[in-house]
A and B are shown apart, each in its own frame.
Chain A
């Protein structure tokens, strides 16, 4: 399945945001992780079987524009509310993976009355000395499959889908895409992915489900317990045979866990 897509004007034309849209049912906004999102994502397709999904690309990703004015967590949090406003949605279900989970949790903490149902899939945002988050920014491409996937061979195939990096044109495209994406993500995650979220989590009022891949080597599953400990009533669902890219490795299990929000 390929999602429909359109470019959305956000914040009085300051930013342009690509939004993928699919499915029918109650509205759900999905915020992607550091890796971004493609319109043929199997996770998007799985979400679309239950909900009317809107998945905006963060500026710096795809052809979304305006990253230069998004310097910190507050700016990104407000931007994400601006996107929901521009879509004309009223308190949709909010789901985020990894970096997107960090943003979704911030939104729910900053404006607790605006977020009623919250799905956090392996969110970043906390720092635990005994369970350090891996340093994504110094990883070599060949180190990524084992870091991000339960099944490194599957990971390798998925990450290689962009084409042969020995081809200079493909390499240039890859380097520029990777630079734009991680330059943006780095403003929230570099060098330590902690922007004070732990001090604000108590404010969250949303019904919350936290989902974690059992073999997450990027953000250890202990972070899931820490999120649930800090958010009143949050429920933790651990998914077997999945790493940090649980959305790609076990999309239906993640969707089944999120269905508890309905």
Chain B
């Protein structure tokens, strides 16, 4: 079992009356609410927390991509991963951008991911999300109905750019390159492990299985709500005749650990509330531009009676309700261990993305929860998928001998 420490990097100073005064935390939130000097502190704190997570034993450090979003301040996940590449030495850099349909020409993503893989000595996990409708359609102006075709073309270009050993002609519908030529190339061969963050479209599942990619279900609604969807995924994996290695799947869960259940509520309750009430306050008109989801996916969802939760659903729920409904896993180390064991086994996931920093949680509490998790929860869960340990298809394969940052500056003439 592998654990990835992850931080959405929310803006921590949304006003108390945010819900009343503004219609959305995403897309049309005025940037006057952003204060760059405070942002300097915030970014550096968040990066410190990711670096700390490596020192206490997390397997991976996660960053992702959002645009025009006050709860996700990483428009460029590669920049964050670059900052981490030099200040960490062991953990995987799990980059759950780049939204490959947003970059023109998309070979840029092949280049940047290769740079990250080379700088970090082969520690990159490359995420290829389609991206949400808010990010791709509303903030980045991509035509909804053409997004997936663009995505498929960008994917083909990136995979080829990594695989070919000489320049080639790429004659796509959206991108035409007479000299497609990726310098540098990634260390990991044939390519870094690829994670596909998805919301549950049938096409995405098939795509993951066909390409041996990890399917990452990133939901804010917790593991109980995710069960039906993940059952659908595993059913599809079986239908396509693939093996059922749990490392084919990743799930993200908000987790809060304290000495006791009561202490967890006291310490983290306000920050969890900030997240569900202010961070997830998104205008429903931005939830999905028509054409973003395919008709096939919509029909499949109606057939499975899979109600698609709206982002605002966790607002107004009490601490107890959030726990009971599985939105958050919170409490003493033993409580958290029990719930996570259930999560890992029922969803059958080999990677858990741990959302331990939540909303406007301050650094001391974040550190406390992270440390308790690493010391008292993680070791108990580590061995759950022991029999699949040899499955290296979905994880990093770093160089044995890696450079030590800073050493060149200390070298002197012989």
The reply to whether chain A is a binding partner of chain B is yes
Q: Give A contacts to B, CB under 8 Å.
A: 67, 71, 137-140, 143, 168, 172, 175-176, 178-184, 186-187, 190-192
Contacts of A187 in B (CB 8 A): 143, 145-146
Determine the distance from Cα of A175 to Cα of B143 in the docked complex, in whole angstroms. Answer: 18
How far, in Å, is A190 (CB) from chain B's closest CB? 5
List residues of chain A with CB within 8 A of the CB of B298. Answer: 172, 175-176, 179
B43: CB under 8 A from chain A? no
Q: Contacts A176-B295, A191-B138 hold; do A186 and B284 have CB atoms under 8 A apart?
A: no
Contact B285 A186 (CB under 8 A): no
Please give me the residue from chain B that is nearest to A182 by CB atom: B290
Residues from chain A with a CB closer than 8 A to the CB of B27 are 138
CA distance A192 to B138 in the complex (A): 11
Tell me the B104-146 residues at the A interface (CB within 8 Å).
Answer: 137-138, 141, 143-146
Q: Does B376 contact A (CB under 8 A)?
A: no
Min Cβ gap A150→B in Å is 23
The reply on B46 being an interface residue by CB < 8 A is no
Distance A179 CA – B133 CA, assembled complex (angstroms): 14
Partner of B291, one of A138, A172, A186: A186
- Residues from chain B with Cβ under 8 Å of A137 in the complex: 137, 144, 289-290
Known: A176-B298, A179-B291, A183-B291. A139 touches B285 (CB 8 A): yes
Counting chain B CB atoms within 10 Å of each CB, which of A138, A175, A181, A183 scores highest? Answer: A138
> Residue on A with the closest CB to B285?
A138
What separation, in Å, do the CA atoms of A185 and B302 have in the docked complex?
24
Q: Is the CB–CB distance between A191 and B137 below 8 Å?
A: yes
The chain A residue with its CB closest to the CB of B144 is A186
Question: Does B283 lie at the interface of the complex (its beta carbon under 8 Å from any beta carbon of A)?
Answer: yes
Task: Judge if B87 is at the interface, Cβ distance under 8 Å.
Answer: no
Among the listed A140, A179, A186, which residue makes an inter-chain contact with B143, where contact means beta carbons less than 8 Å apart? Answer: A186
Let me know if B22 is at the binding interface, CB within 8 A: no
A178-B290 contact, Cβ under 8 Å, with A139-B285, A186-B145: yes
Q: Is B365 an interface residue (CB 8 A)?
A: no
B275-288 to A contact mask, C-beta < 8 Å, 1/0 = 00000000111100
Which residues of the other chain, B, contact A176 by a CB distance below 8 angstroms?
295, 298-299
Is B160 positioned at the interface, with any CB of A under 8 Å from its CB? no
B397 within 8 A of A: no
Query: Does chain A have a CB within 8 A of B293?
Result: yes
A181 to B289, CA, bound (A): 12
Known: A186-B291, A190-B137, A191-B137. A138 touches B286 (CB 8 A): yes
